[in-house]
Amino acid sequence: MLCHSASRSGRISWPLAFTLIALTIGAVIVIIFWRIETWPARTAQQSTEQLEKVGKDLRDAFIDIAHLRPRITINNRVYVEQTIPVSELVVLSRRIEVEHEFLHTWVGSSKRVKLHGTFTAKAGFDLQHNLSIDIHPNEVIVQLPHARILGVEQDQVDVLAFENGLWNHISGEDMQSELSILPQLAREKAAESDLPAEAESALQQQIEQRVHAPQPVHLIFKGATANEAQ
């Protein structure tokens, strides 16, 4: 009797086993269908989170570089509105040297002035126009105006020649006129140089160093170039 009871207790209850298997398969099917049904929403959520991270990185980069928050859109939806606490962004500075000579002869008497000026030219961007960032899953587009010469600051002026004629003397108006010409020459020389183009390249490098987006970041410069604006 004992052996018979042990044999009966060790048998597998097949109906119960089939029921458990059916429940397991059903649960797996439900989970699979749920994952398939929610996959687009979960994918969209992950994609949105990635795009918002890129937007935050770009916002922080412009705050760090230019002390402003540009207008940022994600899939044509405004993510950050633009604020402009500063109107210009200086990216590069360069020393510029110019000379100008004034020679005037009257009734055989000549006067001559020659000046040498040293200036610091600053190149950068006017941030009040055409600054926007559009973030899409396949690319990031940063639009801003072409770089230009924002200003020239006088560092030093040297008088190389100051020669009065016997009756044709150098006047204060002569000196004022010559001194006013030097900054104009310095600005023209800076604009004709490659300084604005170098400023654009420098800004792109700064953004690439600060923003590590999975999609390419394209800087598009709009409007007239520095030389065309002259």
Report yes or no on 139 lying in a domain.
yes
pLDDT confidence of residue 45: 44
Residue 169 located in a structural domain? yes
Q: What is the pLDDT of residues 39-55, one digit of tens each?
A: 444 344 446 677 778 77
What single string gives the DSSP state of each residue in the chain?
-HHHHHHHHTS--HHHHHHHHHHHHHHHHHHHHHHHHHHHHHHHHHHHHHHHHHHHHHHHHHHHHHSSB-EEEETTEEEE--B-S-SEEEEEEEEEEEEEEEEEEETTEEEEEEEEEEEEEEEEEETTSS-EEEE-SS-EEEEEEPPEEEEEEEEEEEEEEEE--SS-PPPHHHHHHHHHHHHHHHHHHHHHTTHHHHHHHHHHHHHHHH---SS-EEEEEES--HHHH-
pLDDT band at 161 (very low <50, low <70, confident <90, very high): very high
- Given a cut of 90, is residue 179 above it in pLDDT? yes
Q: Is 117 exposed, middle or buried (0-12, 13-18, 19+ CB in 10 A)?
A: buried
Residue at 41 is within a domain: no
Domain count for the chain:
1
- Within-domain flag for 192: yes
Residue 10 lies in a domain: no
What is the predicted pLDDT for the residue at 3?
45
Across all residues in the chain, what is the average pLDDT?
A: 79
pLDDT higher than 70, residue 166: yes
pTM exceeds 0.75 for this model: no
Instruction: Summarize pLDDT for 122-133 with one digit per residue, the tens.
Output: 999 887 766 788
pLDDT in tens, 186-208: 999 998 888 999 999 998 888 88
Any domain includes 214: yes
Q: How confident is the model at residue 81 (pLDDT cuts 50, 70, 90)?
A: low
Determine the pLDDT at residue 121. Answer: 95
Structural domain range at position 140: 51-229
In a domain, 68, yes or no: yes
**pLDDT score for 52:** 76
In a domain, 164, yes or no: yes
